[in-house]
Copies of this chain bind each other. A is one copy, B any other.
Amino acid sequence: MSRNNAGLTEDRIITEALRIIDGQGLRRLTMRRLGDALEVEAMAIYHHFPLGKEQLFDAIVAYVSDVARPAADEGGADGAGGEADSDGEEREPAAPDPRPWDERLRAWAADYRRALLAHAQALPLFIHRRPDTEAAMRSLEVLYAAFTEAGLAGADVVRAAAALDSYVTGAVVREVRAEGLPAQRPAALDGRFPHVTALREVRPDPEAVFTAGLDALLRALTAPAASA
């Protein structure tokens, strides 16, 4: 009786794909391996993602980008009881966040960074894909609303949101790139690089680096004289 209808859902496929990506790396995510992990023939996946692997990648990006997602069964128990049927439920204009605008922006940045770092191996997928989802729209609305409340208007709002998004994305890439490299090769540190040599031992905490840059950027973006 377990021949057909193996209980495949998009969510189960995405979650399992992310488990493989996180554990073994993006390049080891193959349709055949994913099928094995789901205890299904690889070709069964095409029934849920008819456009193949590219469509699966799009779905993974959208999934990870949805920062506000409950984030329940990631890596813990299996996702046997979580039917995520969330249509038709959130039509109201979303209860306004009571926190001041700068706290909201900091929270957004922290959440976004955390979501990306949690699936660092999937990051290459994010470069040429932008999720066209309500969650993405919600994110943009949060940024625009906060910067407007901070006193900006028009193009300044759009520019500020772009700068903040750039910074967080780049910071995550930076943190991920730093991993797995042998600090600084002392071999190459000769007289041509005096400043690098002098600061060789300075390794500030990554989280502190992120926060310091974020603070500086937010301060500058919302300073009264910021309309260039």
Contacts and interface: CB of A to CB of B under 8 A. Distances in A.
A69 interface: no
B213 A163 contact: yes
Nearest to A144: B195
Contacts of A221: 213, 216
Contact of A167 (B130, B163, B192, B194): B163
B213 A166 contact: yes
Interface string A140-177: 11001100100000110111001101111111011011
A220 interface: yes
A191 B91 CA distance: 9
Given A132-B185, A170-B165, A141 B195 contact: yes
A225 B177 CA distance: 30
Contact of A148 (B128, B159, B195, B220): B195
Contact of A144 (B144, B145, B159, B199): B199
Indicate how many identical chains form the complex: 2
A127 B121 CA distance: 9
A178 interface: yes
A155 B201 CA distance: 10
Given A126-B173, A130-B178, A157-B199, 6 more contacts: A155-B204, A163-B213, A166-B170, A166-B213, A169-B169, A169-B173
Interface of A: 91-94, 123-130, 132, 134, 137-138, 140-141, 144-145, 148, 154-155, 157-159, 162-163, 165-171, 173-174, 176-178, 180-181, 184-185, 188-189, 191-196, 199, 202-204, 208-209, 211-213, 215-217, 219-221, 223, 226, 228
14 contacts: A126-B173, A127-B127, A137-B184, A137-B189, A140-B193, A154-B199, A155-B204, A157-B195, A163-B167, A165-B170, A167-B217, A169-B173, A213-B217, A219-B223
